Amino acid sequence: MNRTIMVSDIHGCINEFEQLLHGVNYNPTNDQLILLGDYVDRGPNSKEVVNKVIKLVHEHHAIALRGNHDQRFVDFIIEGSSLIKAKFIEHGGLQTLQSYCNIEGAISDEMLDQAREAIKMDYGHHIDFLSKLPFYHEDEAHIYVHAGLNPDYLEWRKQPELDFMYIKDKFIDHTFTNLHQKIIFGHTRTIDIHETSDVWFGGDKIAIDGGCAYGMQLNALIHENGSYTTADSKFNLNEVK
């Protein structure tokens, strides 16, 4: 592999994702693509994004991690409690249902249950795929995770699963002096860290969620021969010194 290409928080933005892969000249023969989770919710084309991710994993050796929105979608379909339904809709789930079921306008509890059953029947393979995604990946240079690592756990692999998907400030504010790899993460929009949607380089950690589903941009972080390049769905390409 010549390059490692990292993308996070696609959130149903299939067009931007396709543009980004094209813009960085993604070649699965030479590039390792690592996706850091949150493929669904908020954006308009969750179904298409999950289809694309499945293809990239199964046919092009991409690595896909699990994000909190992916987990919530799985929980909504499999469990469907009142609390899970409310959280799912509150955090962009309606757009996911519109993508999968062409639902329009206000949605009743009965319609939610009908949508759940329809997705189970027609897209059960999507739910199975998302439910089995790993929470982290690591290589010699990086630890890849959706949200971050909990500094309370010296053995970070043993931290609670929720921390991999949800942790924010406690992780971002901590300096991990005991790790020899940089931590690559999404989940927290970079604009909330340093007031721009560009990739944030924080020394021991790098944040890449550009807030695409909020009208901002989808970022790619490219690692090659020890150097970093950033790209975004607006076709900006920058070498990081």
Range(s) of the domain holding residue 159: 3-69+132-240
State pLDDT tens for residues 3-34: 999 999 999 999 999 999 999 999 999 999 99
Nearest to 220 by CA among 233, 231, 211, 207: 231
Residue 88 within a domain = no
Which range scores top for mean pLDDT: 107-111, 194-198, 236-240?
194-198
pLDDT of residue 189 exceeding 60: yes
Is the model's pTM score more than 0.85? yes
Q: What percent of the chain has pLDDT over 70?
A: 98
Mean pLDDT of 132-155: 97
Residue 16 within a domain = yes
Residue 214 within a domain = yes
Residue 205 within a domain = yes
Domains contained in the chain, number:
1
Residue 121 within a domain = no
Strand order in the sheet with 200-201: 136-138, 142-145, 182-185, 205-207, 200-201
Q: Where does the pLDDT of residue 207 fall: very low under 50, low under 70, confident under 90, or very high at 90 and above?
A: very high
Nearest to 18 by CA among 238, 233, 209: 233
Residue 216 within a domain = yes
Which range scores top for mean pLDDT: 105-119, 160-174, 224-238?
160-174
Residue 176 within a domain = yes
Domain of residue 145, CATH code: 3.60.21.10
- Inter-CA distances, 144 with 64, 89, 184, 216, Å: 10, 28, 5, 23
Mean pLDDT of 106-111: 87
Return the pLDDT at 240. 66
Return the pLDDT at 1. 62
pLDDT of residue 241 exceeding 80: no
Give the tokens for residue 154. Answer: 């010296």
Give the tokens for residue 39. Answer: 């493929």
Calpha distance 186→155 (Å, rounded) = 21
Residue 80 within a domain = no
Q: Where does the pLDDT of residue 92 fall: very low under 50, low under 70, confident under 90, or very high at 90 and above?
A: very high
